[in-house]
Amino acid sequence: MINESALELRVPVAGNAVLEERLLRSLRTHLAEVEGVNIRITADSEPASGGEKSGSVLGELALAIALVTTGKGTVSVLLESIRAWSAKQHDRIVHLRTKDGAEYRLPPDTDETQRHLVERILENERS
């Protein structure tokens, strides 16, 4: 089993912290239907620098995802749910960061090969 902060999801929207927070909360609601994952909203302890508005007073908002089941299908269902949510509006791009700091962009038009590659990487992290 991987730890609570193993995956982090963000939905960056340049210059619109309110929309970014709304999209993040919408994604959290959508992913709450996926069995085998724990989801919570987190905020960086440091506000955004460079005069940019942050997702919250505390800093950038993200979803912390913990995969709590050992079934191989959990990652696949999670990625498909992210894709389905993104597809509702074509410009929604979810950024995923793993516990080792690797980052992936998950646009709604992610092809099968890309999705399979990210799925394999996430499955290997669980081992």
Q: What CATH number should be reported for the domain holding residue 53?
A: 3.30.70
C-alpha to C-alpha distance for 69 and 111, rounded to whole angstroms? 26
Domain containing 32: what range? 7-126
C-alpha to C-alpha distance for 35 and 38, rounded to whole angstroms? 9
Contact residues for 2 (Cβ-Cβ < 8 A; gap 6+): 66, 67, 99, 125, 126
Q: Look at residue 104 and tell me if it is in a domain.
A: yes
Task: Kindly report the backbone phi and psi dihedral angles of residue 69, in degrees, each rounded to the nearest multiple of 5, phi listed first.
Answer: -110, 160
Domain count, the chain: 1
Residue of higher predicted confidence among 86 and 123: 86
Q: Look at residue 2 and tell me if it is in a domain.
A: no
Q: Is the predicted pLDDT of residue 8 greater than 60, yes or no?
A: yes
Sign for the CA dihedral angle at 88, 80, 65, 91 comes to negative
Strands (E), the chain: 7-10, 37-43, 61-67, 94-98, 103-106
Q: Look at residue 53 and tell me if it is in a domain.
A: yes
Mean pLDDT, residues 1-28 taken together: 83
C-alpha to C-alpha distance for 92 and 83, rounded to whole angstroms? 9
pLDDT band of 58, cuts 50, 70, 90: very low
Q: Is the predicted pLDDT of residue 51 greater than 60, yes or no?
A: no
Share of the chain above pLDDT 90, in %: 36
For all residues of the chain together, what is the average pLDDT?
81
pLDDT band of 39, cuts 50, 70, 90: very high
Q: Look at residue 1 and tell me if it is in a domain.
A: no
Task: Kindly report the backbone phi and psi dihedral angles of residue 12, in degrees, each rounded to the nearest multiple of 5, phi listed first.
Answer: -70, 135
